[in-house]
Structure 1
Amino acid sequence: MDLTELIAFQTVMQEGTFARAAEKLNYAQSTITNQIKRLEKELGLTLFYRNWEATLTPAGQRFAEQVDQLIHHWRYVGDIAKQLNEEEIGTLRIGVTETWADRYLPAILYQFRQYRPKITYEITVGNSDFLQECLQQEKISLALCADSESSHDYVFEPLQQESISLIIPANHVLANTQAVTIDELLSHLLIIGQSSCKYRFQVEKAFRTYEQEPLFYTINQLSLIPLYAEQLNGIGIVPSSLSVDDTYTVLPFPSVDHHLQIGILQPRRIKYNSGMQQLFVEEVRKYFKNLRE
């Protein structure tokens, strides 16, 4: 039994046919078939009924309950072997929100690189909902984002409270004010992130007690919101961690109760984290601890 056979079994189970599994893994169908045959021979079990749909046998169903853990354990053992080499090497797949990708992650990676220079990174940037989907699909192994509402599927460690800011261009009528009310915002064009952004939910919640609906222009790239606010004579609404040019007036969003917790999100089902990932998490914790001190 080896890792490729386990992954082949998992993929056939997920895709439903040998042909689709072969296509997903970029193998010939015969390769997938042979891998499953070898696995069945080693286990002494028939895992699939051989028909158009790759249906699990009762024994296959029992094996399927363990295959995710077997794959994670196999990768964990591989990570341990790498750590026993001269220097730890490998790849960390990290998800991060757009604002943190700009403001915090480069400094964290720089510090971590000082004592783990051989590690490479695959960084995925997106909003918290998107990053949670990536975790679910195992495209990334951890995310720096907001907490998941599916708390039973994930382990969340809060690091910092994220507030919400108003970004007002210099030529806007409200640019020289010290504070802005919800009533005043209802009279202006508001530039905001897409509906799947968790901070937008908090903003919309603040408007619910008013009969008049706000006029939102939605942009999925938060870093463009200040530019669009300036060009359209509007007001940007962004997470406070977004880096903004000092030509803009930055004010707190007029509702002190609307905040988000941002931190480290990892799948609960993964028992074995690589040594690299554990060390990286420690570096992230240390970075934010230093920020607070």
Structure 2
Amino acid sequence: MDLKEVKTFQAILREGTFSKAAQKLNYAQSTITNHIQKLENEIGFKLFERGWEAKLTDSGEIFAKEIHSLIKHWDFVLEQSKAIEKEEVGTINIGAIETAATILPSTISQFREIKPNVTCNITVGNTDTLINLLDSGMIDFAIGGKPYKENGYSFIHLYEEEISVIFSKKYYQNPITIQSLNDITEYPVFIGGENCLYYTKFEEELSHIDSKPFYYTVSQILSIPLYIHNFPSIGVVLSSSKLSDNIVKVPLELKNPFIPIGIIQKKDNKYLSNIKKLFLDLIRDSFDRE
């Protein structure tokens, strides 16, 4: 099997059509078709139903489930071979939640001093998105909240985040008008999307009260403080978020406001290279020093 042909197959799976895969790989569509035909001849069965859509055959579905592992194995062998030749080049694909992404610049700076020819690709998203990227092989590991469903994942604890409730000083009055979770329901709430781990945690905090707030969801948590100044409203953020002087944290007692943050990896990831292990060590060291 030619690695180009297998990677062409992977590109079709990711992009959804032959034509989009051709654009992504900068190939002519005839080259894409030729690669797939060669691959089918080598493995002895059809991968796709013929037609405009890239619809997999039953055999193709089975082959597709193993393709990411197969390519990772090849990449691992190649990377190990390059290391032997002292050509320390390669790519690390990292996922991180917004607040954790702020520690990566210093880690990359340290890493560059040791491995200047290794590229780092960073994807920022919520934990749910990052786990999906892990499953698809798009990232090597993630820094995010501890998954509720831990089957299939390993988690190395780094630190604790804490849910904070914020209000604009423009509307925050004395005496304090927000003293309990029940008071929050009187205001619209700006919060991360439903797939955010801390959204779920906040919902758990509200589960014992009868009424629920009106939500506006914002995909970028760090931008939530920008939304609470135009009308009386609540922001729900993480404690590490930097807040301006015109914002006040509401002193509410929550039952369990803490969210464990750490390194998430797939348990079946057998092919984590020494270069990637080094990067993880640097991340752990940066938190050990704090």
If the TM-score is normalised by the length of the shorter chain, which range does it land in? Answer: 0.7 to 0.9
Q: How far is the alpha carbon of 1:68 from its aligned partner? A: 3.7
Please list, as runs of the form range in 1=range in 2, the aligned pairs for 1:178-193 lying within 5 A after superposition.
180-193=179-192
What residue is the counterpart of 1:74 in the other structure? 74
Segments of structure 1 that go 5 or more residues without pairing to the other structure are none
Change (3 A) 1:84 1:232: farther
Distance 2:237 2:114 in 1: 35
Distance 1:85 1:136 in 2: 31
Change (3 A) 1:217 1:6: closer
Secondary structure class of the residue paired with 1:157: strand
Distance 2:235 2:65 in 1: 48
> Structure 1 residue 91 and structure 2 residue 87: aligned?
no
Distance 2:115 2:209 in 1: 53
- Cα deviation, 1:114-147, whole Å, max 9, x if unaligned, reads 3222222221111111112222222222111112
Change (3 A) 1:48 1:252: farther
Secondary structure class of the residue paired with 1:279: helix
Please list, as runs of the form range in 1=range in 2, the aligned pairs for 1:28-177 lying within 5 A after superposition.
28-36=28-36, 38-39=38-39, 45-48=43-46, 52=50, 55=57, 67-86=67-86, 88-102=88-102, 104-174=103-173
> Structure 1 residue 288 and structure 2 residue 290: aligned?
no
Change (3 A) 1:84 1:37: same
Q: How far is the alpha carbon of 1:278 from its aligned partner? A: 1.0
Distance 1:273 1:114 in 2: 21
- Cα deviation, 1:59-104, whole Å, max 9, x if unaligned, reads x7886675443311110012123323445222221111112223x2
Distance 1:176 1:88 in 2: 62
Distance 1:138 1:259 in 2: 29
The one-letter amino acid of 1:71's match is I
The one-letter amino acid of 1:77's match is V
Distance 1:4 1:235 in 2: 52
TM superposition outliers: structure 1 runs of 4+ over 4 Å: 9-26, 36-41, 60-67, 174-179
Contact 1:92 1:141 (C-alpha < 8 Å) held by counterparts: yes
Count of residue pairs the alignment pairs up: 286
CA RMSD of the aligned region, Å?
Answer: 3.3
Contact 2:153 2:267 (C-alpha < 8 Å) held by counterparts: yes
What residue is the counterpart of 1:227 in the other structure? 226
Q: Percent identity over the alignment?
A: 35
Change (3 A) 1:176 1:193: farther
TM-score of the pair, normalised by structure 1: 0.81
Change (3 A) 1:76 1:247: same
Change (3 A) 1:288 1:51: closer
TM-score of the pair, normalised by structure 2: 0.82
